[in-house]
A and B are shown apart, each in its own frame.
Chain A
Amino acid sequence: MNFSESLFIIGSNTSEQHPVFGTMLRRAIKNRGVKLIVADPRRIDMVDFATMHIRQNPGTDIALLNGLMYIIIEKGWEDKAFIEERCENFDEFKATVMQYPPQKASEITGVPVGQLYQAAEIMATTKPMAVMWAMGITQHIVGVRNVMTLANLQMLLGNMGKPGGGVNPLRGQNNVQGACDMGGLPNVYTAYQNVINDEARLKFARAWGCDEAPRTKEGLQGTSSNGLPSTVGLTVTEMMPGILTEKVRALYIMGENPVTSDPDSAHIRHCLEQIDFLVLQDIFPTETAEFADVLLPGVSFAEKTGTITNTERRVQMVNQAIPEIGQARQDWAITAGIAMKMLEGQVDQPETRFVKMDAPWAKWNYTDSSDIMSEINALTPSYTGITHSRLLKGERLQWPVPALDHPGTPILHTKGFARGKGKFMPIDHVPPPEMPDDAYPTILSTGRVLYHWHGGAMTRRAKGLMEVYPEAMVEVNQDDAVKLGLDGKKRVRVTSRRGSIEALAWVTDRVPPGMVYANFHFPESSANELTIAALDPVSKIPSFKVCAVKVEIVE
C-alpha cells in the first residue's frame, strides 16, 4: 500500500470494518495524493476521501469490472508485456469481456457510461493500483467469480505481484487467516495441504499415528477405520441443514455463534433444535447456547498466550495478561481434554477408532501453547520458522517462513504466480438469487458498523460502545423515508420471505433509494433473520449482500 499510486476499494467498508487500516489508506490519500476509487452501492465513509465514487447496483460487480476492462482493452491500456510474459488464456477471456460494452455495463450496473470511462482512465494511468476488497465481494453467490474478475483486472493492468499492486482481501476476524492456515477448513490440513492429496494425508497420518490407508467412506467398517478421511468434509453452511437429515448428529463449536452470524437465523434455530448433541465452548452464553447440551467456558484474549495471523499473513503474539476467570480454561486445553478422554483406554478394534500414540505428534499432553506451536512448525511448511521465542524477541514475521533463520515474506507472487502463469478466467455476470419484486420491492444488504463486532457477543457487553451505538439501525434513503412517512424517530419493520425484524431507521443518503442496509450485531433485530442462505457454489459463502425485503413503518 505504501507504494500504491491509486487504490480501488470494492466491497469493503474499510473505515468501519478495518478502522486502523482505513486510516492508513486515508493517510496515503492525504499525504501522498494517492487516488481512490470506491465502488460501493452505499456512500460509505471512505467516499469522503475518494477521487470518484462508483455506485453500482448491488450484485453487479462482474458486469462493472468487465465493463471497465472492456474500456481498458478498447483504449489499449492493458499491460501487454505483463500479459504476454506472466499470463495465459487472454484471448478466451477477452472474448467474454467484449460482451460488456460500456452501454451494456451501464445498463446492468446503473453506473453512467462517463463514470466508467473516468474510472478506467484513472486505473490505467495511475499505477500501481492496489485493489482492496472484503465481504462485499465474496458474500454473493458469485463471490468466487467476483474475486477472479478482480484478479483479471489486476493482471490486465499488470498490477499483480508488485509492491503497491495486487488483490488484497481484508480478512474479517482477527484470526480468520490463521484459522484457515491451521486447517480449520473441510478440505485442507495446515498450510493448505489438501486432504485429497495422498502425500499430504500420509504425512499427517504418520505424524498423528493414524493408518496410512485412507479412512473408508463409511467410516468404521473394515481395516481402514483408523485412517484419515480422503474426501472433503462439510462446510458450516452445509452442516446446519445436514442436521435435519441426520447427516450431522453432533457438533462441537468453539467460539462461534451461528444463530446470529449465519444467514436465515430462523432456519438455523430450526436445525439446531433437532441436533442430538451440541457442545459449545465460548466465553459468553451466546444465542447459540440455548441449543447446547454442554457449555464449556473458554477464555478471552486477555487470558491466553498464542499466535494469531493477520490479513497480511503477519503472525503475532497474544500474551496472557490475567489469570483465567473463574474456572474458565485455556481453549486448547479444553480441546486437548476432550481428545485425551476420547483416546483414554482406546482399543485397537475394528468397531472403533485407534490412534497409535507412539507416532511423533500423536500425543495431546501439551504443557503450553508454544508446545503446540512446535508441532505446527513440524507439520506446516509456511510456519516452519515461526516460534513464540522469535516473536517475543520482537521479530516481525509474515509467512511463509520456511526456516528458523528465514526473515519472512512480506510480498507474495513477486516472481510468478503460485500456479505458474496467471490464468485469465472468462466470467459472466449472474444476477443475484433473489431480486426485488412487487411483494418484496427493496434490496437489503447487510454488514457491520464501526462500534460493533460480528454477532455482538463482545461489543454488546462493552459499556461505552453500547452508549454510542445502543440498538440496531436500518439505513433508509431519505427519499424512501419520505414515501414511508419516516421522521427519523420512528421504527421500521423489515420483512423478507424468511423473517422479519424491527429496528430504528437511520434516514441517510448512505444508501441509494430502493436499498436498505442492516447489521447483525443485535440478536433482537438481526439482519440475518432476513438474509437468504443461497451459497456460492465453490466457496459456500452465503449471499449476505443481496436479498429482497419490504420495509414498513412501525406505527
Chain B
Amino acid sequence: MSNNKIKYKPVDLHIQKMAEHHGSSAEATLEVLRDLDTENNLTPENITETARALNIPAHQAYGIATFYSMLSLEQRKKVLRVCDGPVCWLKRAGETRSAIDLAAIQKGDLTVERSSCLGLCDRAPAVLVEEEQAGPVEAEDAIKLCEGWRGTPTDYSKPRPGEKRVMTALIGIVDPDSGDSALKHGVYDGLKKALQQEPIAVLTEVEASGLQGRGGAGFPVGRKWRFVASEKRTPRYIVCNADESEPLIFKDRVLIDTNPHQLIEGMTLGAYATGACEGYIYIRGEYEYQARRLELAIKQAEEKNLLGENILGSGFSFKLHVHRGAGAYICGEETALLESLEGKRGEPRLRPPYPPQAGFRGQPTAVNNVESFCAVPHIIKNGAEWWRNLTDDPTPGTKVYMVLGHVRKPGLFEAPFGLTLRQVIEDFGGGMLPGSHFNFALCGGAAGTIVPPALMENHIDYSSGPLKGVTRDIKVMDKRWTQVISMGAGSFLICDQTVSPVNFLRELLHFFASESCGKCTPCRVGTWRSLQILDQLTAGKSTAGASDELKTLAELMRDSSFCGLGQSVGIPMLSALTHFGAEFARAENEHEPIIRG
C-alpha cells in the first residue's frame, strides 16, 4: 500500500525514444500519446511513463489522453469512425451506422466508433477509416467500405454560375502536391512582392484591406496583427487555426487539399508583417491526409527557400510546423487551441491576456483561420483597393461559402459578401430539391442561428451577426440574438419540411454535449441537461415546462459560460425556440415521438 514501494526505475526505453523523437518537452505530450494510441498501447502505465519521460505530472498526461476523442484507453482493432454530426444525421447516417456495425461484426477486425463531426459534410454520410476519409457512405456501401472502397471526393474544379473565385481560383488548376506547379501558377507572388517592402507596409496593406477573420467572429486581421507587431517581446508566433471541427464547416479542408502553398504563403506573410519567426498549423487529427499534404508542401517550400532561413535572400526567416489535434471541437477556440498546442488539455484560457499579448508559450501570437491566411497573398499581390472593390457590401472581399442539406447542388463556392439566404439557396445551391420546400436553415455553423423563411431576404455578413451591432445591453441583446442570420464560418444547412426543428436541435445539442470541455458549470451541465430534455421531447416523453427550461438553460449558458463554446450554444437554441416555439410546444404536449427528420 505504501507509496514508498513505487520503484524508481528508468523510464521505459521505447517511450523514452518516442518522447525524444518529438522533442522531449511537455508540448510533445499529445504526439507521444497519439503514437502510443496508434500502437494500441495507451494504458495508465504507459501514460505514466510518458509523463515521466516528458517530466510532467502523470495526471496531466492522463488528462490529455482522456480529453481527445481520437485517443482511447480501450483495446481497439482497425478504427472506423462514423460521423455523428447533424449534416450526416440529415443524410440518414443512422442507417449507415447500423449497416457498418453489422459489417464490422462480420469482418471481425474493426472497431466502430462514433465521431462528433468529421469535417466531411460535403461527403455525408461520412466515415473515417483509420486515417482515410470516405463518403458518401450509404447503408448499402458498408461492406464495400470495409473492403477498401472510399467513395468519391467532391470535385470543386468547376465554378458555379455567379461565383467570384479568389482563394479557390486555382482549384483543379494547380497540382497541390507540386511546389513547381504552385510557383508556375503564381502562388508566392505575393510573398515575393512583400519581401521587397518593409514589414510595416505589408501590415498596413492588410489593415487597409479591411480583411475580417474567417473563423466566425470576423475580427479584423490587420488589427490583430498590429497588436502582435506592436508587442515588444520576442519571439512572436503565427498560428493557423485549422481545427475545423464545427459541423457544417469543411472549407479549410478544401483550401488545404486544393492549394496548400497558398496557406503557407499567407502564414509567411503574416509572420513577415508581425515579426514572427515561427509558425504552427494546428490541424484537427481527423485531417491526417491534409496534414501530410501540408508537410509535403512545407518541405517543398523549404527546398525552394520560400520557407526557413533567409527566405529568398531577404534576411527574413520563418519556420513552419504542422501540429495535429486529436479530436476536440473546443480546440477551435483560439486559447484552447494554444493550450492544446502546448501539449495540454484543450481548455480555454482566461482572457485577458489575449493571444496577441500572451499566446503560445506566453508570447505574442496571432491566431488566424486558414481562409484568413489564404486571402492575404491576394491582397498583397493585388492591393487593398482591389480587395475592397470586390463587393459593395460593408464587409470587403470574397468569402468561401458552404451550402448543405436539401438543395440540388450542395457544396462549396466563393462569392463576395452581401448574399441573402435566398441567393445562397437558389443562385448557388441550385434551389430546393424536388418536392422540398424551405422550412428552416442553420446559418453560419453549428453555433449559428436557426432561421425561418421570413428572414430569407436579409443580407448576411459579419456586421449583421448576432454578436454585433446596436447595443451591448443584455436585455436588448436578448431580442437581437434571434432576429439575425449568422455569418459564422459561412455555411448554410438548408432543411425542408421533413425535418423537425425539435429533432434537429437535439442533434445539435448532442454535438455540443459531446464537445463541451467540462471546465465551467453552465456549459458542462447545461449542454447535458438540454440534450436530456430534447431527448425526452423527441421521444414523446416530455414533461410540462420543457421549452421554458430549455430557454432558461440557453440563457444561462449564453450569459454565464466561460468561453465562446458555451456562450454560443444558446444561439441555435434561442433562435429555434423563438421561431419554432409552436413545434416545441406541440412536442411538449402531444407525447408522441417525433418521427420526422
Contact = CB atoms under 8 A, between A and B. Distances in A.
In the complex they form, whether A and B have CB atoms below 8 Å apart is answered with yes
Interface of A: 43, 449, 451, 467-470, 473, 478, 488, 506-510
Contact of B7 (A43, A468, A508): A508
B9 A469 contact: no
Given A488-B7, A508-B8, 11 more contacts: A451-B2, A451-B4, A467-B1, A468-B1, A468-B2, A468-B3, A473-B4, A478-B9, A506-B4, A508-B7, A509-B9
Interface string B1-43: 1111101110000000000000000000000000000000000
A473 B6 CA distance: 13
B361 to A, nearest CB: 15
Contact of B8 (A470, A488, A509): A509
Contacts of A467: 1
Contacts of B4: 449, 451, 469, 473, 506
Contacts of B2: 451, 468-470
B7 A507 contact: yes
Contact of A43 (B3, B5, B8): B8
Interface of B: 1-5, 7-9
A43 B1 CA distance: 22
Contacts of A43: 8
Give the secondary structure class of A's interface: loop
Nearest to B5: A506
Nearest to A470: B2
B41 to A, nearest CB: 25
Contacts of A449: 4
Which among B1, B3, B4, B9 has the highest number of chain A CB atoms within 10 Å? B4
Contacts of B7: 478, 488, 507-508
A336 B136 CA distance: 95
13 contacts: A43-B8, A451-B2, A451-B4, A468-B2, A469-B2, A469-B4, A478-B7, A506-B4, A506-B5, A507-B7, A508-B7, A509-B9, A510-B8
Nearest to A450: B4
A505 to B, nearest CB: 11
A513 to B, nearest CB: 14
Q: Which 8 A-B pairs have the closest CB atoms?
A: A509-B8, A508-B8, A468-B2, A469-B2, A510-B8, A506-B4, A508-B7, A468-B1
Nearest to B3: A468
Contacts of A507: 7
Contacts of B8: 43, 508-510
A160 B3 CA distance: 39
Nearest to B55: A48
Contacts of A469: 2, 4
A488 B4 CA distance: 12
B162 to A, nearest CB: 59
Contacts of A506: 4-5
A340 B438 CA distance: 105
Contacts of A468: 1-3
A470 B1 CA distance: 9
Contacts of B5: 506
Nearest to A475: B4
Contacts of A478: 7, 9
Contacts of B9: 478, 509
Contacts of A473: 4
A148 B339 CA distance: 49
A91 to B, nearest CB: 45
Nearest to B6: A508
A491 to B, nearest CB: 14
A415 B392 CA distance: 77
Nearest to A16: B4
A473 B5 CA distance: 10
A508 B3 CA distance: 12
Contacts of B3: 468
A362 B1 CA distance: 55
A467 B1 CA distance: 8
